[in-house]
Amino acid sequence: MSMRIHLAKLAATLAVVAALPTAALTQTPAQPWPQRPIKMIVPFPAGGGTDFIARIAAKHLSDRLGQQVFVENRGGANGAIGLQALMQSDPDGYTIATCSDTPLVVNPSLYEKLAYAPLRDFVPVANMVRFPGMLAVHPSVPARSVAELIALAKANPAMLTYASAGVGNFSHLAMELFSQATGVKLVHVPYKGTGPASLALIGGEVQMGFNNVQLLLQPVQAGQLAALAVAESKRMPALPDVPAVAETVPGFEMAPWVGIFAPARTPKEIVERLAQETLAIMREPQVVKQLTEQQVTPFALGPDQLGDLIRKDLDKWAGVIKSAGIKGE
């Protein structure tokens, strides 16, 4: 009797084992990542600064990872559309994004309803660069230094105008930060994009503006604009004669950064590999040369450092936006 019970139990056990999938019986090691092409979302149209950095990163990551990394531009809503697409992607390392700071650290304070939360929905991989800002005035403005501009603005409150590429844009927030740091009252004139804003400044429709050094350097060199200062913590090696705003306004710094991000819950080993390769790319002499020739500053940070930067900038811009009463459009 006991033998029959034993045989019955054995048969039942064998039946269960036979029903199990092969994967449950053999511990086949996972294939190393990556095994197929990787999509890199850029939440802005092609041709801009973030796109420029993304294409450099994609080319070199393709070489280092042995799989194609291709750029997909998903512009709209100040970067929110592209980041929402990243948030909804599988966290498997095959969809990442190259993004500037604005959608991550400005949008949460600018828009009441945002589909994503930067610290909840994304994993910081690595920061790559920063775009130094420049404060420039039309030649008709009787100021050739930051101190002279502050004195002029205080003597003529709410009389001096500045151009921006739109509400909440870097060029807008930089001037709001400047106004709050110096106590001057300026008039904001928003335009639909960087091109129209730059043309308005060159044409004298407005009197001053902040924008990337990369965009303003040529009209400054042509005498169409006067450069007062760069918004780095110190002078730029490429522009030793142009002071830093911080020389007059201590602590002032305004340089948008660009980094790589992955969806939340992306495996740690994939994030670490991506970070390792990205940081190595930022050390390559030819990459450094390519960037500095375009007035872009290499600014490499690992995942933890980039996370700290996001938290710091979220607080910074929340304060500026609240004080200025800025609302997204």
Sorted by where each begins, the domain ranges of the chain are 38-131+256-324, 133-247
pLDDT band (50, 70, 90) for residue 3: very low
Q: Which amino acid is at 56?
A: I
The domain defined by 133-247 folds into D-Maltodextrin-Binding Protein; domain 2 (3.40.190)
Predicted pLDDT at 1: 45
Share of the chain above pLDDT 90, in %: 81
Predicted pLDDT at 77: 86
For residue 6 the two structure tokens come to: 């034993």
Q: Is a pLDDT exceeding 50 seen at residue 64?
A: yes
List strand residue ranges (DSSP E) for 94-235, in order. 95-100, 122-130, 133-137, 161-164, 187-190, 208-212, 226-230
Q: Which residues pair with 73 in a beta bridge?
A: 42
Predicted pLDDT at 112: 87
DSSP line for 61-130 = HHHHHSS-EEEEE---GGGHHHHHHHHTS-SSSSEEEEEESIIIIIHHHH-SS-S--HHHHEEEEEEEEE
What b/e readout covers 166-182, taking b as 16+ CB neighbours within 10 angstroms?
bebbbbbbbbbbbbebb
Q: Which of 112 and 141 is assigned the larger pLDDT?
A: 141
Q: What is the mean pLDDT of residues 120-130?
A: 98
Q: What is the mean pLDDT of residues 259-263?
A: 99
Predicted pLDDT at 25: 40
Predicted pLDDT at 125: 99
For residue 306 the two structure tokens come to: 């980039």
Q: What is the mean pLDDT of residues 172-176?
A: 96
Predicted pLDDT at 190: 95
Predicted pLDDT at 5: 46
Predicted pLDDT at 153: 98
Q: What is the mean pLDDT of residues 182-198?
A: 93
**d(C-alpha 31, C-alpha 86), whole Å:** 23
pLDDT digits over 141-157, tens only? Answer: 999 999 999 999 999 99
Predicted pLDDT at 10: 44
Q: Is a pLDDT exceeding 60 seen at residue 93?
A: yes
pLDDT band (50, 70, 90) for residue 228: very high
Q: Is a pLDDT exceeding 60 seen at residue 16?
A: no
Q: Is a pLDDT exceeding 60 seen at residue 90?
A: yes
Q: Can 38-131+256-324 and 133-247 be said to share one CATH topology?
A: yes
Q: Is a pLDDT exceeding 80 seen at residue 72?
A: yes
Running DSSP on this structure, what letter comes out for residue 137? E
Q: What is the mean pLDDT of residues 94-120?
A: 95
Q: Which amino acid is at 89?
A: S
Q: Please state, rounded to an integer, the average pLDDT across all residues of the chain.
A: 91
Predicted pLDDT at 265: 98
Q: What is the mean pLDDT of residues 178-198?
A: 94
**d(C-alpha 220, C-alpha 139), whole Å:** 10
**d(C-alpha 25, C-alpha 42), whole Å:** 42
Instruction: Kindly report each contact of residues 11-18 with a partner whose C-beta sits within 8 Å and lies 24 or more positions away, as own/partner.
Output: none
**d(C-alpha 139, C-alpha 58), whole Å:** 40
For residue 221 the two structure tokens come to: 């060199």
Predicted pLDDT at 245: 97
Look at 24-28, 58-62, 164-168, 215-219 and tell me which has the smallest mean pLDDT.
Answer: 24-28
101 Cα distance to chain centroid = 3
Give phi and psi for 27, each to the nearest 5: -85, 75
Q: Is a pLDDT exceeding 60 seen at residue 102?
A: yes
User: Is the domain 38-131+256-324 a CATH 3.40.190.150 member?
Assistant: yes
Q: Is a pLDDT exceeding 60 seen at residue 176?
A: yes
Q: Which of 39 and 9 is assigned the larger pLDDT?
A: 39
Predicted pLDDT at 55: 98
Q: Is a pLDDT exceeding 50 seen at residue 24?
A: no
